[in-house]
Structure 1
Amino acid sequence: MSSRKPKLVLLLVGLSVVFSVWLTWGGSRKEVQDEMRSDQCGDNFTEVSEITFVKSLLAKRAPKFRKEDCSISPGTQKLTAREIYFKEKCIQNFKLDHAHGSDQFWSGDTQYIRHTHHKYLTSQSLVLDVGGNKGEDADAMIQAFHPGIYVILEPINSLFTKLTDKFKSQDNVILYNFGLAAKDDTFFVNVVGHGGDATSVFTGNKGGKCNLKVYNTTQFMQRLGVPCYDVDLITINCEGCEFEILETLIASGLISHFQHVQFATHPLLTRLEKPVERYCEIQQKLARTHIIEYQYKFCWETWKRKDIKRYQIKHWNLRVKKK
């Protein structure tokens, strides 16, 4: 019996050590998991996640940009016979135009036209960037043109946190931790891509653990004071929300307050309702107030308001005719 006691003691000590290691490993594993979850979803929402925090920029706009009448006039939503004709042609040509536009845009350095094209921007300019992502577009335009005010909207918390750190020393950059849509909503999504850069609610991605807030586009623009002044540029790249934003701006009449409109298009997102038809209708309605400056159909493009002088049409993405 006496010879067995040391063995029993050693066994108990060994089990105690194993149990202690297991508890330590389990605790550290939980901490790692929590940290990973935090990195994925980002920090909790703050005051800049609420639309009530949005302040008017009217006081910061130079007199030449201001409007005496702050009312907005919704345009007619019914297409004319001519517009219907061109809409149908656009729909029919989708596959060829999409392939052609995408190939051209992503060829070499062509894609950077979305950064370099906007040489009209000055230290007095106001830019709205909807879908700031990692800040690549914002950083390129800020470095090149030094606009006086650069507003970035980014609903993905992990990306927003990085944007906050990236632009923390630049007073001209205003950040909001939400996106825009046709109406207010909150989604729970899985963060997809490198740091969330491919996250979209239009890919069957709902039901995740990370919050994503969006607000009504018209309400946001009114709070920002847009009906009372012109905006030099709105650039929109938000994994499918471009359609709702453009449709809302056009329907409300607010589109006439944007001198330049740049947007990406994501027509292949699986949960996006009728993207081709909507894109082609937006083309016709946008052409009432603006004219194309560069266009890679169903990919990226920029339009300039018709009354802006010295406009120049570039890079018109014409459909290649079959021989």
Structure 2
Amino acid sequence: MVLLIFIFNYSKNILCDKNRNIYNSTCKTSIDSYKKCYKHVIELVPNENVANGIETYFFLKNQLKTIDKTLNISLYWNQDDRLKPFTNLISSKNQCQILYVGANQAGTDGIEFIKQYQYCHVWFLEPVLQFYDKLIHSDKILRELNTGKHHIYHIGLSNKNHLIDVTLKDIQESEAVTLVGKQDNQQYIDNQQKYKLILRDIAEILFEFNILSKIDNITFNGELNLLHLNCEGCEYDVIERLINTNLTKYIRIIQFGSHRPSTIRSSINQRYCCLQQLLSITHQLQFGIPWAWERWLRYDLINKND
């Protein structure tokens, strides 16, 4: 698996200190590891219009039909990896909080986490009303919500609190809706039927949900066991916000699907490689393919037996 080895080595080559304040760090685009990452992610995209790894796979597969060659999907897409068993997800206190961002219409990943990890409380977050409505009418999810252990909220996450207008066309065109860049296009949808979507600041939500609590202005108590992001591009704003507020060190595992939303595509390679570099200060990459799924484990949990 050449691509996975490359990304793993890239992460390992960053000089890291798990006790370092990440908000004092900036992305260094001049170092070799960044340049290698940038070159690598560009080479993975055969067409500027693809949004993720599965689209890349189908694009290349269609091209190869004419020359009768096969294509290894695992080089571009690793969807099944996101449900692999976690290393040190739960502490010895058997306390566990999972924030699941982008539950979509079925909440599939959250249901799987509930099945696999009995001590975990799962927070389902979904900002699109039509998707949220299906979630709260799902027998599987209602059964879990009725236990009082799990929660569902009609919100998305971002780097600040704001309302986003989306049109019915936005929702109907895809099974997953990207909200990235929507706030910059409000003037174009004034005459269309639109829906208000609520995006909340991840740095505030961690405290509002009592996952973290303040001891003083610089010291916090608690931790989030898993941040699981499948939000069609919000991963950049969310993780960058966590980095800038020095909150990544309070998250045991960060797992996300990386996307290439059209509205930020011109800067997406740089943002992706900077996330790789800065996450490496507090976490180690467990697996990952750009424009697919990746998992990061906090350094103090590596080789630890809770």
- TM-score by shorter chain over 0.5: yes
Is 1:231 aligned to 2:178, yes or no?
Answer: no
1:169 corresponds to which of 123, 127, 143? 143
Residue number in structure 2 paired with 1:199: 177
Q: RMSD value over aligned CA atoms? A: 3.0
Unaligned runs of 5+ in 1: 1-71, 312-323
1:4-23 Cα distance to aligned partner (Å, 9 max, x none): xxxxxxxxxxxxxxxxxxxx
Residue number in structure 1 paired with 2:129: 157
1:292-311 alignment runs, 5 A limit: 292-310=285-303
Q: For residue 273 of structure 2, what is the amino acid of its counterpart?
A: C
Q: Is this contact kept in 1: 2:77–2:289, CA < 8 A? A: no
1:114-193 alignment runs, 5 A limit: 114-118=82-86, 120-121=88-89, 124-134=95-105, 135-166=107-138, 167-170=141-144, 171-191=148-168, 192=170
Q: Is this contact kept in 2: 1:230–1:258, CA < 8 A? A: yes
1:75 corresponds to which of 4, 7, 23? 23
- Higher share in strand: 2
Q: Is this contact kept in 2: 1:266–1:298, CA < 8 A? A: yes
Q: For residue 143 of structure 2, what is the amino acid of its counterpart?
A: S
Give the whole-Å Cα distance in 1 for the aligned partners of 2:89 and 2:37. Answer: 31
Unaligned runs of 5+ in 2: 1-19, 47-51, 58-71, 213-219
1:104-154 Cα distance to aligned partner (Å, 9 max, x none): 666899422212333655663211111111201111222222343101111
SS of the residue corresponding to residue 117 of structure 1 reads coil
Residue number in structure 2 paired with 1:216: 201
Q: Percent identity?
A: 24
SS of the residue corresponding to residue 143 of structure 2 reads coil
SS of the residue corresponding to residue 301 of structure 2 reads coil
Give the whole-Å Cα distance in 2 for the aligned partners of 1:271 and 1:109. Answer: 21
Higher RCO (C-alpha under 8 Å, 6+ residues apart): 2
Q: Is this contact kept in 2: 1:127–1:147, CA < 8 A? A: no
Q: What's the CA shift for 1:75?
A: 2.3
Residue number in structure 2 paired with 1:64: none
Q: Is this contact kept in 1: 2:125–2:155, CA < 8 A? A: yes
